[in-house]
Amino acid sequence: MSLKRSSKLRLVALELCRKMRKNPTKAEDIFWQAVRKRKFMRVKFYRQYPIFFDYLGKETFYIADFYSFEHKLVVEIDGRIHNYTQKRDRFRIEIINLLGINVIRFKNEDIINDLEYVLDKLKRYLNF
């Protein structure tokens, strides 16, 4: 894997991330307010964070909803669209796992309706 992070690709990724940060979903905003500034277990999370990788000789990236470097963990928050993209989501998880990063997923409804459940599940996962 080369992962040179071409400056052009990096600029594209950063611009997309900025746009996504400016327009979070309700669930993303609720989760962010709960975990930002190390509020949750003193863990540092980044939101809308690009993860670069090389796929079949081509450098590309995924944008993680939330990412913790110290735990090598991506937190994905799934809206209704993910009901139709399960195959693509599984492939994405496989790629991210190959990079040595784990992925945990939560549904929008769970975050909106029962944030304590989500945070408790995340806490148990991090203490694993």
pLDDT digits 0-9 by tens, 33-84: 999 999 999 999 999 999 999 888 889 999 999 999 999 999 999 876 655 6
pLDDT of residue 89: 81
Contact 114, 106 (CB under 8 A): no
- 15 has pLDDT over 80: yes
* Across 15-35, average pLDDT: 97
Q: Which domains does the chain have, with CATH numbers?
A: 7-126 (3.40.960.10)
DSSP type of residue 84: S
Write out the E strands in the chain.
46-55, 58-68, 73-78, 102-107
pLDDT of residue 5: 57
Mean pLDDT in the chain?
90
Please give the single-letter amino acid code of residue 107: K
pLDDT of residue 39: 96
